[in-house]
A and B are shown apart, each in its own frame.
Chain A
């Protein structure tokens, strides 16, 4: 079954050449797919468009986004609000500023639980366990946590919300290698438990391979490759081969 189906998605500023042009791909239910590309290739824009979080004057100018067969584009703000969190949720690349600074982690997770129609007392503690955070974290403020802990708190939020599609936008950028591993395994545990389809966005192929088996490659606003992660080095698209080479150079 198809969880997310994107067809001819075009994003840009009115009167200017599009920043993303005619992107099409599918995510099966529970499938993990990587979206890679250089800086400026349009990865975060794709993520923003899928969650309806583009900022004016940037806007979606065409195409369709179907989640389990329901069209999201062109719907009212109210309908978008219903879809967000339940159908599609996003973990952002800057955990440092993503959480509300003046509130403790517990209430922020509890709010997600209520949004998902669950009882906070029943879902928040196991969610913290699942991402290997101590229970006392619920009583702390974001500034008291490290970057990796904050990102795991966001993953716990995703775990509670149980969206059909989860978008993780560069969730490991700026984290050291050990912390990166913690975060990636937390994402895998979360995905296994919620059966969410995951779109994992990164410029780093190594990180993508730990989560996804299939990768999409963006280059200058166009989707240039859609293949197995292992087949990237043999891709017909030059941008894809370059990313594979870069990852190889870093590993050796």
Chain B
């Protein structure tokens, strides 16, 4: 198992390297000279010789690949330089706000998985009318713009009912509304996936045998279909977490949840490139690790793959 993990990690090294290159290259190929922009951000109208001096200072006059390798060397030590806007190190800034975003995304993931299982199972076990109703509800929830849902929830729960507050301090009770907002849409999308997978499996011969044995829907779902779809489900969960990490930005900015969302929106406004770069790398790494976990679940849930693994 350990060997498998190591091999799996080794195989992903090129992808990681490629990711770092993408994150670096986005800055390098971005229109507008970052140096000029940094100076402008500081309120300085730069003269050509200033630009050259600063370029030399930051090493920007060196060839592209040299700069990339230099950047990579620092990046592997989680050193992404200094935020232009705040003057603090990017790693510090991100470390400050990342926990809140992770807490929000993970609780929304738990919510989304629960919602998806409820919707999916209802759609496949209920009678035709309830099943159609569930599918219609699913489509509606998938289609609701999350930011609009957030505003509606605030209108209902904060302004009218007064059950929640808007400018929180990051305590658990402040997490409920943003997590709910995020998990409804993601849960419905996952629920649609559960419904599709289960329906596809229900056309298979092995389900026919299980029915012929006299088993009920829940027994067939748990005992026969679940082992088949747990792998694809794990992959879908990992992808959902990726969506939630990104989607958190929207919800955080509305609810005032102190996560990375506020930080990155500011950074985009101020063209704070090192910070955006760091954000992209951190999000990529977290998502990457989750996908790796999902891959392992896929392999463990398939007896044929598992056997090949233990034989190696």
Contact = CB atoms under 8 A, between A and B. Distances in A.
Contacts of A53: 208, 211-212
B223 to A, nearest CB: 7
A99 B209 contact: yes
B165 interface: no
B312 interface: no
B210 A141 contact: no
A165 to B, nearest CB: 12
Given A92-B205, A97-B204, A102 B302 contact: yes
Nearest to A140: B303
A92 B206 CA distance: 10
B55 interface: no
A206 B32 CA distance: 83
A98 B228 contact: no
A81 B215 contact: yes
Given A100-B224, A103-B227, A85 B303 contact: no
A196 interface: no
B31 interface: no
Interface residues of B, number: 22
Interface residues of A, number: 27
A84 interface: yes
Interface string B205-234: 110111111111001000110011000000
Contacts of B219: 111
Given A53-B211, A100-B210, A143 B303 contact: yes
B262 interface: no
Which among A82, A92, A98, A102 has the greatest number of chain B C-beta atoms within 10 A? A102
B224 A103 contact: yes
Nearest to A85: B214
Contact of B215 (A51, A92, A111): A111
A28 B203 CA distance: 33
B304 interface: yes
A84 B227 contact: no
B213 A112 contact: yes
A103 B304 CA distance: 11
B304 A92 contact: no
A97 B205 contact: yes
B144 to A, nearest CB: 32
Contact of B304 (A85, A98, A143): A143
Contacts of A85: 212-215
A92 B216 contact: no
A94 interface: yes
B301 interface: yes
A202 interface: no
A157 interface: yes
Contacts of B224: 100, 103
A85 B209 CA distance: 10
Contacts of A81: 214-216
A86 interface: yes
Counting from the closest, the 3 A-B pairs by CB-CB distance are A85-B214, A102-B227, A84-B214
15 contacts: A53-B208, A53-B212, A81-B215, A84-B211, A84-B213, A89-B212, A92-B212, A97-B204, A100-B223, A102-B228, A102-B301, A111-B213, A111-B215, A157-B213, A161-B213
